[in-house]
Structures are given as C-alpha cells and as structure tokens.
Amino acid sequence: MPNASLPISGAIITKNSERHLYQVLNAIKDYVREIVVVDSGSTDRTLDIAKSFNARIISIQWEGYGHARNIAFAECKHKYVLFPDADEVFSRQALDELLNKWTDSYAGASFRLVNYYRGKKLRFGLWKPTRKIRFCNKELCKWDNKPVHEQLIVNGDILHIAKGEISHLTVDSILDHLRKIERYAEAGSMNRGNVSKARVFGASLWTFVRGYVLNLGFLDGYDGLCVHILQALETFMKYELARERTINN
C-alpha cells in the first residue's frame, strides 16, 4: 500500500490528451494526495476525464513544455511531485518500489521507460527503452524553459527504480506520429540561426543512420523502419523551417 507519510502531488501537462489520460491518472491516483492538470486549451474530453479524478485544472496559454512544467510544479501543494506525461502509464511495481526506497537523501527518481509504437514495444533504435526522471523533490529541481525536449535540472542524487516500468504509449497511428513531428519540428526550429541546405540534408540523413543502422532500429522490423523514416522527417522539417525563417527575414 502507498506510504501515507509521503505527501505527493501528481502533475500532468495536457492538450487534447483524452486518448490515454484515464490510464495515466488511474495508475497514480492511489499514490498522490492531489492531481494538478495544466491544460493549454483542450477541446476534447481531457478536462472531463481530469475532473473525474478530482483534479485541479490550471488553464494556460502555451509557451512551451518547460514553461508549462514549471507552472505545474509551482501549483503543486506538496514538495514531492510525480509527473508522468499524458501518455505515460506507471506500473504499480515501479511506484511501490519508489515508496519503499525513497529517502530525503535523494532529489529525484528515475524509472525505466518503454516506448510503444502502434501498440508494439520497441526494443532498439532511437526509441529503445531508456530511463526518465518522473519524480522529484521540487525544492531541489527546476525545469529549463526550452519549448521542446525540456530538461529537469536536479540538484542532488537520483534514485534509480529497478522494478516495473513506465509504458510510454507514444504513437497510436501513422497520422498521430505525423501530427507529433509537426509540433516538435516547429518548436525545435526556433532560435537555430542560419542553417544551410547541406545541414538540412546531413542532419536528416544522420538521424536515420544513427537510429536505424547504428542503434539497430532495423531489428524492430517494419515499425522500426517507420519510426526512423519519420524521425528523419522531423529533423528535416526542423532545420528546413529554420532555414526558411532565415531566408524570409
């Protein structure tokens, strides 16, 4: 059972996140004393789902992931914060071990994160299993303000949770993937300065080769091929948008 002596806030960033939000919140509800949802204009059932878990909803204008996460931390009543993305589902084994092993000698805790692509677990390539910090003492941590691929700045040691995992239900369809890379490419293109045509092509090719060949993405079969073609496309769009912006200015 959850350790009642450890007061934890749950913090989620959402926008039109109805697809997996119930699973995400249901996985953490027994481990947190409150749920804070920072939403940037959802028009689907996201807010209804959040309200069914008695979440406190904070509506914001979108200024990037780092900005939104810092707002979420500020709104949490407790210093311990569990913060899955809106498509990341914790296993009970992982959360139970967190409660059993956590002490204030740590600043944060990392978990094994497994990516699922159209329902299939990926084992290789750029989306192979990795570790992510998804719990921390917010008094010792702060997000940078990057609009995308934001980083948590941790002032202290990290507890590495060995049991269980976070299931990252990252992409449900090829159209879903295309929509995501459009958002990430646009955000990632900002503040890149002058970009040459050679950089656009070279970076895109390197993304594919690094993931599909050097990191053995081909061992994930057809889904591995799809992932890395679209990852290369995201890189192409990111640098080409930056190049266009330079030309037009």
pLDDT tens, position by position, 218-231: 999 999 999 999 99
47: which residues sit within 8 A by CB, 6+ positions away? 37, 39, 57
For residue 4, the model assigns a pLDDT of: 52
Domain boundaries, the chain: 8-170, 173-248
What the block records as the tokens of 40 is 């940037």
Nearest CA among 156, 155, 137 for reference residue 81: 137
Residues 6, 162: Cα–Cα separation, whole Å = 20
- Mean pLDDT, range 73-85, rounded to an integer: 97
* Dihedral over Cα of 132, 162, 126, 174: its sign: negative
60: which DSSP letter?
Answer: -
* 8-170 fold: Spore Coat Polysaccharide Biosynthesis Protein SpsA; Chain A (3.90.550)
Q: Map residue 36 onto helix, strand or coil.
A: strand
Read off φ and ψ for residue 213, nearest 5 degrees: -100, -60
pTM, two decimals, is 0.90
- Helix (H) or strand (E) segment spanning residue 218: none
- Higher pLDDT among residues 211 and 4, named by residue: 211
